Amino acid sequence: MTSDHSARVAVLVSGRGSNFEALHHALQSTPDIPAHIVGLISDQPQALALEKARHLGVPAEIIDATAHESKAAFEHALIGALSALAPDWIVLAGFMRVLTADAIEPFAGRMINIHPSLLPKHRGLHTHQKVLAAGERQHGASIHFVTAELDGGPVLSQVRMAVDQSDDATSLAQRLLPLEHHLMRATVALLATDDVKCANGKITINGHELLQPLQLGHGLDDRGQWLDQPSGR
């Protein structure tokens, strides 16, 4: 992405939309990040994210899967709506549907998803419970490129936090969410300013292959608390 271009970001959601809101706030309040959100699409007519988008003045659209006769018809409508936004990047932020390869193909290498685990551990739902059941001492969130395999695409970036003895699934989710927002902002900033590509299962950044996911927890301690006072994060 060159510096005279503001990256066009489309966001896909199904629910609450806190990652969308945090990203919108970051892009509005940090003009140094050359990116802006061009639209939000929800597959759920009742998603809270739709209200947030309207409140923030972000164009919002519903593509309701249940209103289409087949998954193919739903994905056709989704591809059309996304294409109309002409996005450089598509961010899945709490989008609860697995897309087929046909729906991903037009946007291959430009679609990322945020997932609340340290991938490749704990794909799918109930990640906080899975971390506790496995007795793990670390938890976190990942942003990966989207493929047809659920939470299975190449991982670009992560943020980590320690699991406390006293944690339950609710406290893990609560403590992780602000870190997800941090990861989302930092990753979109990277996509907007650097040459990030994903092809044939490999990620390159400015021409160099990424061998491990970027760890984007700078400024956070091992519990995910800020080491100094956050300013504009």
Q: How far is C-alpha 40 from the chain's CA centre?
A: 13
Rg of the Cα atoms in the chain: 17
Window 160 to 219, contacts with ligand GRF (CB under 6 A): 180
Query: Least distance in Å: CB of 34 to ligand GRF?
Result: 23
87: its two tokens: 């996005």
Specify the residue, 69 or 147, whose C-beta has the smaller distance to ligand GRF.
147
- Which of 93, 99, 179, 214 lies at the binding interface for ligand GRF (CB under 6 A)? 93
Question: Which of these is catalytic: 68, 76, 115, 122?
Answer: 115
Q: Which residue is nearest to ligand GRF (CB)?
A: 94
- Of 24 and 110, which has the nearer Cβ to ligand GRF? 24
114 lies in the binding site for ligand GRF (CB under 6 A): yes
Two tokens, residue 193 = 């300013």
Nearest approach, Cβ of residue 163 and ligand GRF (Å): 16
Terminal Cα distance for the chain, rounded: 22
| Alpha-carbon 163 to chain mean position | 22
Shortest CB 6 distance to ligand GRF, Å: 23
Nearer to ligand GRF, 7 or 179 (CB): 179
191 phi and psi, to 5 degrees?
-60, -35
Q: Which stretch binds ligand GRF (CB under 6 A): 17-25, 82-90, 155-163, 215-223?
A: 17-25
Rounded Cα distance between 53 and 61, Å, is 10
Q: Which helix (H) or strand (E) holds 171?
A: helix 169-193
The one-letter amino acid at 123? R
For residue 160, the SS3 value is strand
User: Does residue 154 bind ligand GRF (CB under 6 A)?
Assistant: no
List 94, 178, 217, 224, residue binding ligand GRF (CB under 6 A): 94
Q: How far is the CB of 99 from ligand GRF (least distance, A)?
A: 14
Q: Does 116 bind ligand GRF (CB under 6 A)?
A: yes
Within a 13 Å sphere around the CA of 103, how many CA atoms are in the beta-carbon half? 21
Q: Identify the helix (H) or strand (E) that includes residue 38.
A: strand 35-42
Q: Any idea which residue has 């997800």 for tokens?
A: 180
Q: Is 5 a catalytic residue?
A: no
Question: Which sign does the torsion angle of CA 107, 109, 113, 114 carry?
Answer: negative
Is 152 a residue that touches ligand GRF (CB under 6 A)?
Answer: no
151 is a site residue for ligand GRF (CB under 6 A): no
Residue 59 CA, chain-centre distance (Å), reads 19
CB of 65 to ligand GRF, least distance (A): 17
Residues near ligand GRF (CB under 6 A): 13, 15-19, 93-94, 114-116, 141, 180
User: Which residues are known catalytic residues?
Assistant: 115
